[in-house]
Amino acid sequence: MPHPSPTIDADVVRRLRDGDNMAFDEVYKTFAPVLYQRLLRLLKDTDTVEEILQDTFLKLWEKREQIDPQQGFKTYLYRIADHLAIDLFRKISRDKALQQELWASTVSFYLHSEETLIAKEQRQLISAAIDRLPPKRKQILLLCKLEEKSYQEVAELMGISVSTVSNQLVKAIKEIKSYVLQSTRDEQAVILYLLLAFHIA
């Protein structure tokens, strides 16, 4: 069952806009844990997530006078975090290892998301990519990413080595990436879509 979406009283938002430190602390305590988890699911690196999280609230404080208490505060805050994450992705777009992590996170997000969180086209595309995997590779992917079993558990369950599990999982992610990009031809669009999808996570 999904956790309740965090909310904040409009009076707290008004006090934040006026420079009230206690209001800022309340906003941080309310939204920081959720922002941390949604960024961590995508970026898979705690140091990077911590940096983006701190930058998000720093920018929120610096731009507090632009806050409109009558508008959606959560959307405003999440947009700051998303833009910072997008900027990061653009900076490291040539980092192949991190790209592999992002694609692995994409698959995990798909497997664990409710249908309403992913547009029909993206869901069908990723589902088709997974279905095209060789049976053994698909089974390893689902055991690791859907059932969240460790490599050791999967190896024992299937009677194979841990290195085979790791290699097959890497190949599965690469095949999914290849299939998706053949259809969309825009790697950043796929990753940015997932960033935006977290608005309602």
Rounded to the nearest 5°, which phi and psi values hold at 90? -65, -35
Domains 10-91 and 96-200 share a fold: no
Helical pair 151-158 and 162-184, crossing angle rounded to 10 deg: 100
Helix (H, G, I), strand (E, B) or coil at 45: coil
Kindly report the CATH class assigned to 96-200: mainly alpha
What's the pLDDT at 13?
92
Question: Quick one: DSSP state of residue 145?
Answer: I
Q: So what CATH class is 10-91?
A: mainly alpha
pLDDT at 8: 83
Domain segments of the chain as ranges: 10-91, 96-200
Rounded Cα distance between 7 and 74, Å, is 7
Q: Does the pLDDT at position 170 exceed 70?
A: yes
User: For residue 142, what is the DSSP state?
Assistant: I
pLDDT (tens digit per residue) in 104-151: 666 666 665 554 444 566 667 778 888 999 999 999 988 987 787 888
Q: CA torsion 56→61→65→67, rounded to 10°?
A: 40
Count of residues in the chain = 201
